[in-house]
Structure 1
Amino acid sequence: MQNLVVKGQNFALTETGGLENAADWTPDVAKELAEKEDLTLRDSHFEIINIMRDYYDQFNISPIRKLLKKDIAEMLSDLKANDDYLISLFPGGAMHQGLRIAGLPQSRLDAEIEPVTRVQVVSEQKDIKHFVSEFEFSGKTYRVYAKGNLVDPSEWSEELAEFLAKKEGITLMNDHWVVLNFMRTFYFKYGIT
């Protein structure tokens, strides 16, 4: 394991050079992490880093690109949410270099994994009750990821939800529908579940 020394204090780093513990982050730590990547941080960098860290503090997860850019546009400007601007600040990518310098873990959401990769992942469990690649319902073929989620969320319907739930031995009740509808609304608003 690597270490970073800042003002005489040791900080554990991951294999990819990020902080092992996000709580260890300080602006001085960020400057040292950036210096290791030949990057000098300015106020414009810290504007973006602080938005990343605020998101992490609020949701306990690193932001995905879509939500980071949404927050930047709302808090700063559309210009600063532009990919070219973000690359000018973090040539190694805002979602990789930027998050690393912000002391945060990489986003690991299905939404940011290449679709071809997600479809090819096969679960190792033997007692799987859900579909793992594709299935037929009402004369149509549906594709799902290995964990059973629809590849195309726009194909979802209440009838399909009932069918998928029954496949897993679940009878959907009113409380289920409250949660399902909340999750769908949240997903289509924020791009994350």
Structure 2
Amino acid sequence: MPMVNIAGKEVEVDEEGYLVDLSQWNEDIAKYMAVEEKVELTDSHWEVVNFLREYYAEYQIAPAVRVLTKAIGKKLGPEKGNNKYLYELFPYGPAKQACKIAGLPKPTGCI
């Protein structure tokens, strides 16, 4: 598996750039992944990233976009729990990009 140097620390990623050891995740890794994904992290992005980390801690799965949209809508409200809002934040796929930045595995069902 490939290794990347993030803030002076060697971190293992898979062939698609997802973090291999989820326990290594920190904000530096999130920022690095965001740059790689061409996403400029704002408070709104962090809200989704932190939501995903909490979701993963509870269910041990990275949600596909449909599940993510519904779950965010329940917790953060309908103005944030919709595809338009999430795709504005993560244009290459809210579940796929946000999970990578959050240090989570690629969601099942993502190509």
TM-score, normalising length: structure 2: 0.89
Q: Within 5 Å, which residues of 2 pair with 1:1-193?
A: 1-108=1-108, 112=109
Q: CA deviation at 1:62?
A: 1.1
- Contact 1:62/1:104 (CA < 8 Å) preserved in 2? yes
Question: May I ask how many residue pairs the two structures share in their alignment?
Answer: 110
Helix, strand or coil at the partner of 2:80: helix
- Contact 1:51/1:71 (CA < 8 Å) preserved in 2? no
- What RMSD over aligned residues (CA atoms) do the two structures have, in Å? 1.5
Q: Which amino acid aligns with 1:67?
A: V
Q: Which amino acid aligns with 1:56?
A: Y
Q: Which amino acid aligns with 1:103?
A: G
Identify which of structures 1 and 2 has the higher relative contact order when contacts are C-alpha pairs closer than 8 Å and 6+ apart: 2
Which structure 2 segments of 5+ residues have no match? none
Give me the whole-angstrom Cα distance separating, in 2, the residues matched to 1:16 and 1:49: 19
Give me the whole-angstrom Cα distance separating, in 2, the residues matched to 1:64 and 1:38: 21
Q: Which is greater in Rg? A: 1
Extract structure 1 runs of 4+ deviating beyond 6 A. none
TM-score, normalising length: structure 1: 0.53
Give me the whole-angstrom Cα distance separating, in 1, the residues matched to 2:16 and 2:5: 16
Which structure 1 segments of 5+ residues have no match? 114-193
Give me the whole-angstrom Cα distance separating, in 2, the residues matched to 1:79 and 1:37: 24
Q: Which amino acid aligns with 1:55?
A: Y
Give me the whole-angstrom Cα distance separating, in 2, the residues matched to 1:32 and 1:91: 17
Give me the whole-angstrom Cα distance separating, in 1, the residues matched to 2:39 and 2:2: 19
Q: Which amino acid aligns with 2:26?
A: T
